Chain A
Amino acid sequence: MKPRTTRVAWIAAASAAAVLGLSACSDGTGGGTASGDATTLVVQDYYGDEPQKTVIGDLLDGCAADMGVTIQRNVVAAPSLVQKTLQQASAHDLPDVLMVNNPDVQQFAQAGYLRPLEDFDIDTSGYPDGILKAGSYDGTLYGLAPGVNTLALFYNEDLLKAAGVTPPTTWDELKAASAALSGDGKYGVAFSAVATYEGSWQFMPFLWSNGGTESDIDTPEAIGALQLWTDLVQSGSASQSVVNWSQADVADQFKAGKAAMMVNGPWQIPGLEATDGLNYGIVQIPVPAAGDTLIDPLGGEMWTVPNTGDDAKEKKAAELVACLNSDKSQLQNALAQNYVPARSSLGTQVVAQVPQMQTFVDLVANARGLTAELGPDYPGSATRIYTAIQSALTGSLPPAEAAAQAQAMK
């Protein structure tokens, strides 16, 4: 009796320890990367929704076939791409080619995750300055976007015609037009003032065109832009719900005819085209006064080459980034997902096939990157901006105080 009990105990304890040891071992096997073998490239992006998933997949496959490599694609949900990349960075297991949303490029470049693209042979001729700046940190290029986007004013032609209103070009006209188009459960204009970077991004064309800057929102220029949005909401020309609307929600309101005008981007065009009975036009976002210049924000995702320490693979990865940014890829990408091709010269070819893209093609040439001024400090100021917007639009504080309080936030 006695010896058996101890033996059983020993066996049980030993097997428990063995299981533990096994699980500890399994950690070790994943980390090793084969060096020198550059036939497989790991690509990571957040294009998980159709049609983008297939569009980017086709682009990658086409380039891979030309280069004679295999691609192992890793599609991550958009909100978790940054977290995933941080984990990979701490495990020194970054993908070979990484898609980065443009406001995050500088953050990652500063942290040393990315290789400068100047180390490789990549043609950047014909790119507008704004796009190159958006992909650069400290004057060095780290990311390149085949296509970009920006914001414009979409208007419902039928609703404007019925109200006898023409698309506004200045802030005063915007206020007057929105007021005339509002009422009966409808709002004149819709935009996204949500408590995320989407809200800050939508505010940029108003802030910048009024001479304001993202580094300090407690200035008369910034407060002026804030006052415009506040007036639109408090006069009932825009819904109080804008503080909770994402850009997708804004597009839904527009499609349903509940908003006569909206601030949105070209990626909404396919959805609008698919909406029965919706006739719409696109103009640039109104400027403070006639003759002012509109400064639009640049959006889009950049392809980068992470620092994996494997020279052969990094070289191949750079080749893939170059291929994704070739004229052919840019056109294919632009037409498939309604982006503006980054190379200015390709714009006309896109407009020939999708005339609605004209406004966006024109705007992108002068658009400014979100991180152009503040670089890796952009997230902090974007938070201050949406906080000020929310305080002012909900009536918690008058615009001037909302701006002062938000600016004082660390």
Chain B
Amino acid sequence: MTLQAAQGGAVSAAPPSRIPDRRRVLTMRRRTWIASALFLLPAVAYIVLFFGAPIVKNLTMGFQDYTTATFYNGEAPWVGFQNYVDMFESPVFSIALSNTFVFTIASIAGQFVIGLAFAVFFRRRFPLAGPIRALMLLPWLLPLIVTGAIWKWLLDKDSGAINRILEALHLTSTGIPWLDSPSLALLSVILVNIWIGIPFNLTIFYSGLQSIPDELYEAASLDGATGWKAFRHITWPMLRPVTNVVLVLGVVYTLKVLDIILGLTNGGPANATQTLATLSYNLSFTQFEFGQGAAVSNVLILISLLFAAVYLRLSRRSEAAE
């Protein structure tokens, strides 16, 4: 934005009307150059201060023995790759890594499919569609700490509402240990995260659907394409750009999910829901192993960057296709 505005200014500042004196043009050029640099400065300073510096700091911390004392005296001895060696040797890291992938992929798949289904559903006009759609946003509006506490009650094995209902329907007699069993806890946390993510997907897809002209569906229905066929040949291709945005934002949001897991299980039971984000948090802020915490979060940054690169590739390709 800033760059374009500055360039626009530069263009209008070089008038072709009179043949200008050579020196004057040079100073004018230099002046517009300085002006555009000043326009860029806030954005560059912001990026350097609030994005660049923390990332550089995090990268360097990963190579340091960064302790509680470091905060006070600034001394953090270099330890080379020791933090990374410790990280890869730790049995928890591989669990956290695979949990992170399962959590991210399953959460996004669930949010995506259900969000899209709801968006298509709400595209039809029916009584009370507006208020119901507004209610669907509720999970998005709740603070995650509250969401965590509520779902912890709902999923409680002995007195949680969900098991009570299942018991009343005679689907289970002993209660399902949603959050208490290492084999179920990750699934339960994913289900809660899907519930939280549906409104976001619904909203983006819904607005994406608004931009598809009704005429397309009318024309298609004359040709006999309705229902699933209309979805496959009109809705889905027309939603492609929106789909890319939803997927990439979804991946980045989901990779770093922390509060909901801390609230539900704190990474337990027996590390069953430990992800890279919770592991990094626990290493840094409960075990005071800041260097190792930074090493784990650097891995997280790397994964996010990979996805960002894939996204840029995809969007460039789709732009080229257009």
Question: Is A107 a contact partner of B68 (Cβ separation < 8 A)?
Answer: yes
Interface residue ranges of B72-104 to A (CB < 8 Å): 72-73, 86, 89-92
Instruction: Report B12 CB to chain A, min CB distance, Å.
Output: 5
A67 adjacent to chain B (CB < 8 Å): no
User: A14 CA to B34 CA in the complex, in Å?
Assistant: 11
A201, chain B: closest CB distance, angstroms = 13
Q: Which of A45-53, A235-243, A292-300 contacts B (4 or more CB under 8 A)?
A: A235-243
A111 touching B180, Cβ below 8 Å: no
Q: A6-B9, A14-B38, A195-B266 are in contact. Are A90 and B72 (CB under 8 A)?
A: yes
CA distance A223 to B6 in the complex (A): 70
**A379 contacts B90, CB within 8 Å?**
no
Q: In the assembly, what is the distance between CA of A19 and CA of B41, in Å?
A: 11
Q: A241-B158, A241-B177, A241-B180 are in contact. Are A197 and B269 (CB under 8 A)?
A: no
Which of A209-217, A353-361, A386-394 has 4 or more CB atoms under 8 Å from chain B? A386-394
Name which residue of chain B comes closest to A79, CB basis.
Answer: B285
Task: Mark each residue of chain B from 1 to 28: 1 if its CB lies under 8 Å from any CB of chain A, else 0.
Answer: 0000010010011010000000000001
Query: Are B35 and A6 within 8 A (Cβ)?
Result: yes
**For residue B38, which residues in chain A have a CB less than 8 angstroms away from its CB?**
13-14, 16-17
**Chain A 336-349: CB-based contact to B (< 8 A → 1; otherwise 0):** 00000000000000
Tell whether B182 is near chain A: CB-to-CB under 8 Å. yes
Q: How far is the CA of A2 from the CA of B17 in the complex (A)?
A: 11
Instruction: Assign chain B's interface to a size class.
Output: 35 or more
If A13-B35, A239-B157, A394-B182 touch, whether A20 touches B45 (CB-CB below 8 Å) is yes
Contacts A111-B71, A240-B181, A243-B180 given: A5-B12 contact, CB under 8 Å?
yes
Given contacts A110-B68, A379-B288, contact A6 B270 (CB under 8 A): no
Cβ-defined contact, B69 with A112, below 8 A: yes
Measured between beta carbons, the chain A residues less than 8 angstroms from B158 are: 185, 239, 241, 258
Residues from chain B with a CB closer than 8 A to the CB of A194 are 266, 268
Partner of A6 from B13, B45, B152, B285 at Cβ < 8 Å: B13
Q: Does B179 contact A (CB under 8 A)?
A: yes
CB–CB B286/A111 < 8 A? no
Q: Which residues from chain B contact A13 at a C-beta distance below 8 Å?
A: 35, 38-39, 41
- Could you tell me if B182 and A244 are in contact, using CB atoms closer than 8 angstroms? no
Tell me, yes or no, whether A268 is within 8 Å of chain B by CB.
Answer: no
A203 within 8 A of B: no
Q: Does B156 contact A (CB under 8 A)?
A: yes
- The answer to the question of B172 belonging to the interface, with a C-beta cut-off of 8 Å to chain A, is no
Contact yes or no, B39 A243, CB < 8 A: no
Residue of A nearest to B274 (CB): A195
Q: Are A2's CB and B269's CB within 8 A?
A: no
Alpha-carbon distance between A1 and B13 when the two chains are bound, in angstroms = 9
Do A107 and B288 touch (CB < 8 A)? yes
Say yes or no: B182 contacts A195, CB within 8 Å.
no
Cβ A394 vs Cβ B68 within 8 A: no
Contacts A5-B12, A197-B286, A394-B180 given; does A244 touch B269 at CB 8 Å: yes
Interface membership of B159, Cβ < 8 A: yes
Q: Is A125 an interface position by the 8 A CB rule?
A: no
A195 and B265 form a contact (CB under 8 A): yes
Question: Which of chain B's residues has its CB closest to A88's CB?
Answer: B71
Residues of chain B within 8 A (CB-CB) of A376 are 68, 288
CB within 8 Å of A: which B253-302 residues: 265-272, 282, 285-289
Within 8 Å CB of A197, what residues of B? Answer: 286
Report which A residues bind B (CB closer than 8 A): 1-2, 5-6, 9-10, 12-14, 16-17, 19-20, 82-83, 86-87, 89-90, 92, 107-108, 110-113, 185, 194-197, 239-241, 243-244, 256, 258, 307, 376, 379-380, 383, 386-387, 390-391, 393-394, 396-397, 405, 408-410
List, sorted by A's number, 28 A–B pairs whose CB atoms are closer than 8 Å: A6-B35, A9-B32, A9-B35, A13-B39, A14-B38, A17-B41, A20-B41, A86-B68, A87-B71, A89-B72, A107-B68, A111-B68, A111-B71, A195-B266, A241-B177, A243-B268, A243-B269, A244-B179, A307-B72, A376-B68, A387-B271, A390-B269, A394-B181, A394-B182, A396-B270, A397-B270, A408-B91, A410-B89
Known A-B contacts: A19-B42, A410-B86. Give 12 more (CB < 8 A). Answer: A1-B12, A6-B13, A9-B39, A92-B72, A111-B68, A195-B266, A239-B157, A241-B179, A244-B179, A390-B268, A390-B270, A391-B270
